[in-house]
């Protein structure tokens, strides 16, 4: 188990400067992280900084609220891929999920997955806003829609990843899709516990500190 392979090195703050994104990419190269995770406006820069390296680019879509139109999310996802993104981390429409609009939630994920072709799609559930049954349902819908990952959190909600939520997600998805834990993961011990619970990816802005 090589810990850097699990890490999406993340900077999603609205205040992120171009030099900070360049620094993020430099650290990702130096530490051998799996990917950087950035907002859509920074994908082109990250692509330039990371060309001819193994580091992937993950871009967030519908972030952080998930409440924009499906058409807007599809356009955003396609635009990110066009600019160099290898992976898309999309936020589900939480209000639709809570309204039992299961078909709309599922179809939105399907449409985005179709829009990005063979690129990786991670579906952010934002578990801090969901009941247990809603978390279970969100996992099922993501699997049915052909997502590659379910992901706990944006890091911008009222809470981040928890061991309980990851355990629930693993129980629901098994080996059908992978799991990404993100939000509040700041030390190696915590990261390793998530991996032991079955997580394939850790989203964190504390990657270098986590390794040290």
Phi, psi at residue 106, to the nearest 5°? -60, -45
The tally of CA atoms less than 13 A away on the side-chain side of residue 49 is 25
Give the length of the chain.
Answer: 212
C-alpha span between 151 and 181 (Å, rounded): 6
C-alpha span between 168 and 170 (Å, rounded): 5
The 8-class DSSP code of residue 92 comes to: P
Catalytic residue among 78, 113, 135, 180: 180
* Strand pairing category for 35-38 and 56-61: parallel
103 flagged as catalytic = no
Reading the block at residue 160, the tokens are 């981040």
180 flagged as catalytic = yes
Using CA atoms, how far residue 143 sits from 41, 113, 178, in Å, is 29, 12, 10
188 flagged as catalytic = no
Tokens 């635009």 found at:
79
Question: Taken in order 176, 154, 28, 190, is the CA torsion positive or negative?
Answer: negative
Catalytic residue among 56, 73, 151, 165: 151
Q: Closest Cα to residue 195, out of 178, 209, 171, 183?
A: 178
Catalytic residue among 89, 119, 135, 165: 89
Q: Which residues participate in catalysis according to the annotation?
A: 89, 151, 180
């Amino acid at each position: 188990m090589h810990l850097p392979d699990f890490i999406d090195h993340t900077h999603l703050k609205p205040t992120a400067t171009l030099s900070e994104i360049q620094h993020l990419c430099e650290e990702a190269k130096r530490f051998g992280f799996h990917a950087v995770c950035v907002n859509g406006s920074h994908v082109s820069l990250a692509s330039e900084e990371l060309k001819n390296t193994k580091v992937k680019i993950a871009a967030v879509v519908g972030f952080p609220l998930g409440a924009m139109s499906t058409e807007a999310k599809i356009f955003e996802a396609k635009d990110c891929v066009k600019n160099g993104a290898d992976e898309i981390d999309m936020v589900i429409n939480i209000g639709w999920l809570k309204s039992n609009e299961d078909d709309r939630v599922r179809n939105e994920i399907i449409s985005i997955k179709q829009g990005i072709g063979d690129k990786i799609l991670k579906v952010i559930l934002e578990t801090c806003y969901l009941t247990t049954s809603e978390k279970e349902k969100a996992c099922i819908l993501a699997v049915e829609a052909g997502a590659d990952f379910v992901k706990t959190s944006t890091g911008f909600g009222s809470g981040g990843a928890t061991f309980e939520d990851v355990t629930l997600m693993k129980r629901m998805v098994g080996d059908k899709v992978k799991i990404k834990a993100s939000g509040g993961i700041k030390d190696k011990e915590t990261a390793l516990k998530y991996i032991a619970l079955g997580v394939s990816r850790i989203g964190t802005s504390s990657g270098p500190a986590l390794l040290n």
